[in-house]
Amino acid sequence: MATPRAAVVGIAGPSLAAEEAALLRRHRPLGAILFRRNVVDPAQLAALTAALREELGAEAPILVDQEGGRVARMRPPHWTAFPPPASFEGGPEAAAEANAAMLGMECAAVGLDVVCAPLLDLRLPGAHQVIGDRAFSADPAEVTRLGAAWVRGLQAAGCVPVIKHIPGHGRALVDSHESLPRVEASRAELAADIAPFRDLAGCGAWAMTAHILYAAWDEARPATLSPAVIGDVIRGEIGFDGVLVSDDLAMGAMRGLSNDLAGAAIEAGCDLVLHCTGVLEETAALLEACPALSDGALRRLAAARDAVGAARRPLPAVA
């Protein structure tokens, strides 16, 4: 089978349409990401993930944003209402780890093997509430402590974690879903933002980029499209050598920045791009322009799977 394209894409609804399956066969992405529009109940969701892997391959990663609190694609009555990450601030690491393990078990039980969590962003006063209680704390050391526990819990449940939003979304004053935030903090000030990512750089997780322009690092381009931010900061100063996936390229922050966002993000240093709308024509255009996975990306993907294998352990059955 040919090397897949360096993309993870969304689909439109709770089942895989014939035209979607045909597109996935024609321009095979690495994996898929699911949202509330794709989720009905456990039997339906397990059937959907199985159908996706029928087209993409048995090891194709299927992602979900399941953080707890506001950001949860799987919800009651079929799944647990997990608390927001901020509620663990100051508490025992064991509680955070156990919560993440249970959350991961619920994902794994329906075929979701990559969980886009935890946030390692700082919860800073005055920032836009798009982050808010999704972040553990304003204290970098506390974010590192609880983030490490979250990563361990997800890996123990058999899921690959995705730390986000590297190199830090906490200072953004606008929502990157709507427009491009510009952060004017100095390099010295940004040292606090990158500290949790640096501390957990070797944890085996993937990392998701922030669609933010950091003037101190690159005056012209947001992190997702910046060779300087990815090469010098994320791969260099932070020391992250895991799978680097872009945040959703369809977000408002990326509007008008490039006619080929997938190519620009991969050229800047991302291993994968994320495109989430599920609109067939948009997905087709993205996949047609997207290059194949690089050898480096394949190596990093294998290392993340190995980290899960090393951490996985027997956990209580999901009811």
Catalytic status, residue 139: no
Q: Over 90: is that where the pLDDT of 92 sits?
A: yes
116 pLDDT band, cuts 50/70/90, is very high
Catalytic status, residue 247: yes
Closest CA to 28 of 272, 287, 274, 294: 287
Report the pLDDT averaged over residues 173-197: 94
Q: Are 170 and 135 in contact (CB under 8 A)?
A: yes
The pLDDT, as a whole number, for residue 319 is: 56
Q: Specify the 3-state DSSP secondary structure of 248.
A: strand
All domains in the chain, ordered by first residue? 5-311 (3.20.20.300)
> Residue 256 class from Cβ within 10 Å (0-12 exposed, 13-18 middle, 19+ buried)?
exposed
Instruction: Give the tens place of pLDDT for each residue, 264-308.
Output: 999 999 999 999 999 999 999 999 999 999 999 999 999 999 999
Q: Identify the active-site residue in 65, 193, 199, 247.
A: 247
Instruction: Give the tens place of pLDDT for each residue, 8-39.
Output: 999 999 999 999 999 999 999 999 999 999 99
